Amino acid sequence: MTSGARQHSRTRELAISLAVAAVAVGVIAVTATPQGLAVASSSPFSPDVRAEAQALAASVPSQVVDDALTASGPALPVRTYTITARFGERGQHWHLRHTGLDFKAPWGSPVYAVMAGRVVKTAIHPAYGRMVILRVAPGVTVWYCHLSSVLVKPGDVVAGQMLGRVGRSGNATGPHLHLEVRVDDRPTDPAVFLFGTRPGKPGGVPRWYPATPSPTVASLQSLRG
C-alpha cells in the first residue's frame, strides 16, 4: 500500500470513528431527558403494547421540590420525589407488569390526597404493604401503597390532605410510594391521571392486564388499629 493510500485509509477510519461518536452523543442527548432513567428504560414491550404505552404516556418530572401542586391543579402525592419505575414495566418484583408509578422519597415523607374524595378503606397486603384506598370518582380509586404509617380513617378528605407517610412495607426494596389509579379495580397509568392533557381523568386499561382484576378493593384485608 502506498503512503497516499495509507493516508486515505487512516482518514476514512477517523471519519467513521467520528460518525460513531456523533451517533453516541445523539443517543445520550435523546435519552438524558428530565424524565431520567425511568423514562429511558428498556422494558421489553411488544410492538402493540409499546405503541399503546407511548399513546398513553405523559411527561413525568423525574424530581420535584415544590408546594405539592401540579401546574394544572391536582395535588402531588409527595412533595419531593424521584420516579424509579413507570407503569407497564416488567421486572422480578412484579407478577405481571408494574401496575403503578413509583415515587422514591425519604422514609417518613408525608403522602397527600391527589384529589378530594373519600377514603373507602385502609388495608394491609403482602405485596402492597400498608395502604390507603381513596375513591375520587365513581369507580375510580387511587391506591397509596408501601406506607410506613396510615394517618386517616375511612371518610371524606380534601385535596392535599395528609394520608400517611412513605415507607417500605410489603414487597419493597426501599422507601417509596407506589401509586395506582384504578378504574373498576383495573389499573391505569397514574402519569396520565396526574400529568396528562386532562389531569384528574384516568387513561385506558392496558390490554396486557387480565379481564378479572386481582386484588380488588373488596378483597383487600382491612388495616386494624
117-126 pLDDT, tens digit per residue, is 999 999 999 9
Distance in angstroms (rounded) separating the CA atoms of residues 111 and 113: 7
Question: pTM value?
Answer: 0.70
List the one residue out of 130, 111, 142, 96 whose CA is nearest residue 220.
130
Q: Domain locations in the chain?
A: 1-32, 37-222
Per-residue pLDDT band for 208 (boundaries 50, 70, 90) equals: confident
Place of cell 385502609: 122
Judge contact between 75 and 113, C-beta under 8 A: yes
Least confident segment among 12-16, 114-118, 150-154: 12-16
Judge contact between 109 and 165, C-beta under 8 A: yes
Distance in angstroms (rounded) separating the CA atoms of residues 3 and 212: 73
- Give, in order, the Cα–Cα distances in Å from 187 to each of 133, 155, 160, 170: 13, 23, 22, 19
For the cut 80, the answer to whether the pLDDT of residue 109 exceeds it is: yes
CATH class (in words) of the domain with range 37-222: mainly beta
